[in-house]
Amino acid sequence: MNLITKVILLIVMILIPILGLYAYSYRQSVHVIENQINTRNEEKLANFLNQIEILLDQNMLFAALATKDPEIKSVAFGNLPESGYDRFNVIQSLQSKLSLFSITNKIMNVISIYFPRSQLFLTTDTTSVFERDAFFKSYTPNWRLNKVEVNGIPMDAFSRFFASPLHEDPDGLMNAELIIRVDFFTQNITNLLDGFKLAGNSDAFFYRSADEVVYSSTANTQRIKQLLQNYPMDQYTSQSKFHDIVSIDGKKYLLYTLASSKVDWSLVDIEPLDEILKPVVHSRNLFYAILLLLLLLGTLAASLLYFHIQVPIRILIRGVEHIKNKNFGYRIRKRRNNEFQQLFDSFNGMGMEIDHLLKRVYAEEIRSREAIMKQLQSQINPHFLYNCLAYMINMAKMNNNKSVIAMAHNLGDYYKYTTRNETLVTTLINEIELAVNYMNIMNHQLDKFQYTCDIPESMKTIKIPKLIFQPIIENAIVHGLEEILEDGWITIVGIEEPDGYRLVVEDNGPGLSREALEALKSKIAMENNESEQTGLWNVHHRFKYYFGPNSGMLLNHSALGGLKVELYWGK
């Protein structure tokens, strides 16, 4: 996990608790606001319903006062002059009392009195025509919504009858002393609802059923009808008071119902919750915007840290990886206008110093290897010389002058080849030709073996150390073929592989036992030669010095019966 990821995770870990605490605080705030709104609206509804009930009570009060008025009681008992001025004065006095009470209430209503004994009908609506059947047909001892015509215009009104003495049965009304009808127009309630709505964004209405609803003059009737359709009010108005959250057109509203204790109606109010919570929601959105801004600023800060710290550190790490992979010529080319530029310059200076130092060390190592190879090569020259001189002595004793002359010529060519000290390397074909010349001489001496040589053309020009191949042939002849009685055989095969080369020499000599072969491998692998047999050890170590650790010589049993010597090196 890099630095930028850790910084962003740290910012997120800091913001998550803040967001959680704010979400909890927001829910608590909304809960408190809803409780306060519920309390306020319940009190407001109760106060408003009380005003409606007071208006109804004022109309009921007139009925109670009328039954106590002496003049009204007198007429109710039948003491009404039949005609003349006295009758007119009584009727005019009663009419004045009705009008005075209607004006005193300052409400729109119609008050009517009917005296069954004298068949007298009085009303505050001067345009009304008394029809006894229609009058008694709408009789109700409780407030009920009716259609009342005023000046020929039908209007909605709450109507109620008062009889003295009281009569519950409409059929016995004609036995009453007087009957009072009060028509309380719903416009009075509409006016109150308009005043109620001015105190907020609510839509209040007076409700009894879906067909009996009193709205304010500015009510959103479409929204109220949708409310009544989606949420039947009967299940709410059956309770004395109720509140809930409802959804209309995807918006949330607070619903309140308060049942009247005097009439079979309920006051219903809906308030848009979104409008109420708008300041809180605005504050929440502002907080989220600030939180998002902090997150963006934190991400920006982390990005700046990444580009100004993490990226330079990665550049330095990549440079160190190049140095680790021995690419000492690598240099940082990036330019920074900060403290990292000094680190880059120091890194480049360090790489340059290491490169120069390693070049000097490499040069010294090359010179050291050349000295070692010359020393190893010098070990071969006397070893080979001793064998040739011994052979020449033996041939001279046997008066075999041709062999002595041939050996002398071969020895002269050999030292002519080996004394060229201007270079320590030659081509593989030159080494093979020297080995073939040597085998011809030895075969002339022994006259008991044959050889084959199969080298691919692509391998003939490969550079190898001088005198690296002749000791292997010599070992195969001296320690292998000389010890057998039958004819000997030597094979030389060059093999090219995808990643390297192999040069295999096999003979059909007696070979070595498994223990002797393992002992010889151990001697060859030793850093220092403690044996007098230096040929194979010399070849193995010269090969490793020249081609590196992934090269050398392998010894194994040959399918021909003798020893198998394999030189291998990479391309």
Model confidence over 318-327: pLDDT tens digits?
A: 888 888 887 8
Higher pLDDT residue, 505 or 336?
Answer: 505
Q: Which residues contact 191 (CB under 8 A, 6 or more apart)?
A: none
Distance CA 105, CA 201 (A): 29
Class of domain 404-570: alpha beta
Write the pLDDT tens digit of every residue in 291-325. Answer: 788 778 877 877 777 777 778 888 888 888 888 88
Distance CA 544, CA 213 (A): 111
Write the pLDDT tens digit of every residue in 340-398. Answer: 788 888 888 888 888 788 777 766 665 665 555 555 455 555 656 776 788 788 888 88
Please state the φ and ψ torsions of residue 277, each to the nearest 5 degrees. -90, 5
pLDDT of amino acid 311 = 80
- The helix/strand/coil state of 399 is coil
Please state the φ and ψ torsions of residue 129, each to the nearest 5 degrees. -110, 125
Distance CA 506, CA 553 (A): 13
Task: List, in sequence order, every beta strand (DSSP E) within 356-462.
Answer: 425-427, 449-454
117: its two tokens:
């004994």
Tokens 């309390």 correspond to 39
Distance CA 427, CA 464 (A): 6
Cβ-based neighbour number of residue 416 at 10 Å: 9
Distance CA 329, CA 152 (A): 112
Most confident of 124-128, 137-141, 558-562: 558-562
- The helix/strand/coil state of 74 is helix
Percent of the chain with pLDDT over 70: 88
Angle 249-250-256 from CA coordinates, rounded to 5°: 80
Q: Which residue type does 44 have?
A: K
User: Residues spanned by CATH 3.30.565.10 within the chain?
Assistant: 404-570
Q: HSE on the CB side for 51, CA within 13 Å?
A: 16
Prediction pTM value: 0.47
Cβ-based neighbour number of residue 94 at 10 Å: 20
Cβ-based neighbour number of residue 387 at 10 Å: 13
Q: Identify the DSSP state of 558.
A: -
pLDDT of amino acid 93 = 85
N-terminal to C-terminal alpha carbon distance within the chain: 41
Residue 260 CA: distances (Å) to CA of 167, 209, 241: 24, 14, 9
243: its two tokens:
């509140």
Q: Does domain 69-190 have CATH number 3.30.70?
A: no
pLDDT of amino acid 200 = 59
User: Residues spanned by CATH 3.30.450 within the chain?
Assistant: 69-190
Residue 198, pLDDT > 70, answer no
Most confident of 193-207, 361-375, 427-441, 496-510: 496-510
When pLDDT is cut at 50, 70 and 90, the band that residue 24 belongs to is confident
Higher pLDDT residue, 228 or 376?
Answer: 228
Residue 491, pLDDT > 90, answer yes
Distance CA 90, CA 95 (A): 9
Most confident of 260-264, 529-533, 558-562: 558-562
pLDDT of amino acid 197 = 67
- Whether the CB-CB separation of 384 and 355 falls below 8 Å is answered with no
